[in-house]
Structures are given as structure tokens and as C-alpha cells.
Amino acid sequence: MVLTRAQDAEAADPVLGQFLDFLAQDMAAHPERLQALDVALAERIQMLVGGIEVDFDEPLSADDE
């Protein structure tokens, strides 16, 4: 998983903020649980989803709602 800071702070999601706070607290409390991302896994993920284009402005379909 790769997390990056959102560009638009005005549209911040409070649920996402709470989740990120939880992650930060858990990482601080239990650093022994952190594991480096395996290179082979990262390459496999890229192979599976690397060619997928996503339009975040496109509305979800009825099946995805």
C-alpha cells in the first residue's frame, strides 16, 4: 500500500483522517509489526493493476454504489 498526501485539504475525508490517525498510533505503539514491502509482491501488484486507468471524477456504476 502506498499512501500519499491529498492535494485538496478542503475536501478532506474525516473518516480517512481518523483511519490515518489510527495507523500512525498503531505504528508508534507497535513498530515491530512493520514489514518492508517485498519487491516480488510489489512487482506482481504492478503487473496486475499497472495498466488500469482510473477516472476519480467518473461516477460509480449502480453495482459499485
Give the confidence band of 6 by pLDDT, cuts at 50, 70, 90. Answer: low
> What tens digit of pLDDT does each residue of 11-52 get?
678 899 899 999 999 999 999 999 999 999 999 999 999 889
Distance CA 19, CA 35 (A): 19
Distance CA 32, CA 34 (A): 6
pLDDT of residue 10: 63
Give the confidence band of 1 by pLDDT, cuts at 50, 70, 90. Answer: low
Distance CA 47, CA 11 (A): 31
The pTM of the full predicted model, rounded to 2 decimals, is 0.48
Q: How far is CA 34 from CA 28, 29, 31, 55, in A?
A: 10, 11, 6, 32
pLDDT of residue 38: 93
Distance CA 33, CA 35 (A): 6
